[in-house]
Amino acid sequence: MSVSHSSRLNKLVREQYVRLPQDGLVQVTYVWIDGSGEGVRCKSRTLDKEPKSIEDVPEWNFDGSSTAQAEGSNSDMFLVPVRMFRDPFCLDPNKLVLCEVLKYNRKPAETNLRHTCKKVMDLVKDSHPWFGMEQEYTLLGVNGHPYGWPDNGFPGPQGPYYCGVGADKVYGRDIVESHYKACLYAGVKICGTNAEVMPSQWEFQVGPCEGIEMGDHLWMARFILHRVCEDFGVVATLDPKPMTGNWNGAGCHTNYSTEEMRKEGGLKHIEAAIEKLSKRHDYHICVYDPRGGRDNSRRLTGHHETSNIFEFSAGVANRGASIRIPRQVGQDGYGYFEDRRPAANCDPYAVTEAIMRTTVLNETGVETKNYADH
């Protein structure tokens, strides 16, 4: 197996240092999204007491020229804490803190999509939007080859791997279970996990989350995933189509409802929302991956449980559609629906904001409205 050199270090030696007392001091790790819009970065500092709320965590800064977010001649970027979690790596009382990134002029960095998402979520808060996102990912060795796959060849065809059990069907369960426990400890709203259709591909689900917390919790879950994989010496990729050929891609299916959809008779509101989405398909495709739809074009082919990227479709229990209404929701007449178009490497802030703009704020076309600070 191609694993990193650092993963072979004796972790028991590290353990004796992690358990040392801190005399009331607290290590806070600041986490942010870098200039790629996909990667996460982090750095740590010491506070003289445990922060009890996000307001207790001070702003900080970093060198944006080293994260593709600024030029060297004007490189300082602001880190603005927005949500705090327990630290599953350094343990209590230490914290992980998710941050927004602001430029030197206090305007949001180009990949800070949380800023406008928060404005939109504040506008629609009375509709109480709930989200649950299903994050698919693929485990790779540090050589870029899927973890557990033969060095020179391929595993058997898809079929026995989805929710599989057994050493010949699943690869990397220790990583998956460690990530799950770490998220629970941190306070991330993780609600499940399973092996996926392609071997070495997995999924975890986060939610239900209301409004802006969906993006916050999914980004922190991603950070924790990358940190856990670092300890095990492997790589988690969110590439929407990591292997060409007859293999499933990776998405981030987004389940969504408003309060009126969750009440008796809510199916008519679900159908009305889907009708609005059908008229704005191109706009959503453009924001459902970081490259304006180019990543998703490799995945949304109409095969391997996907819809065709050029066509909008919806159906009950149809995993080949753009939008799936769960069979139970069709029978009950209320509940939620699933948008199956977002790519695994989507920004959840962009996805949830787009859904609200279309289904609640009734925007149309490919242009978005610029709302004043609410």
pLDDT tens-digit map of 48-61: 999 999 999 999 99
Residues 252 and 204: their CA atoms lie apart, in Å, by 10
pLDDT given for residue 373 in this prediction = 62
10-residue averages of pLDDT along the chain (374 residues) = 89 91 97 98 98 98 96 92 98 98 96 98 98 98 95 93 97 98 98 98 98 98 98 97 95 98 97 98 97 96 93 91 95 97 98 98 94 69
Sort strands 190-195 and 235-237 into parallel, antiparallel or unpaired.
Answer: unpaired
pLDDT given for residue 73 in this prediction = 86
Residues 46 and 97: their CA atoms lie apart, in Å, by 13
Q: Does domain 121-360 have CATH number 3.30.590.10?
A: yes
What is the pTM (predicted TM-score) of this model?
0.97
Tokens describing residue 206 = 């986060």
Q: Which amino acid is at 55?
A: E
Backbone angles phi, psi at 82, to 5 degrees: -125, -25
pLDDT given for residue 90 in this prediction = 96
CATH superfamily for 5-111 is Glutamine synthetase, N-terminal domain (3.10.20.70)
Under 8 Å between Cβ of 351 and 287: yes
The full DSSP string for 185-203 is HHT--EEEEEE-SSTTEEE
pLDDT given for residue 11 in this prediction = 87
Query: How is the chain split among helix, strand and coil, in percent rounded to 5?
Result: 30, 25, 45
Q: Which of 26, 24, 25 is nearest to 87 (CA)?
A: 26
Residues 47 and 73: their CA atoms lie apart, in Å, by 30
pLDDT tens-digit map of 103-130: 999 999 999 999 999 999 999 999 999 9
Tokens describing residue 49 = 């007491």
Q: What are the residue ranges spanned by the domains of the chain?
A: 5-111, 121-360
pLDDT given for residue 78 in this prediction = 98
pLDDT given for residue 111 in this prediction = 97
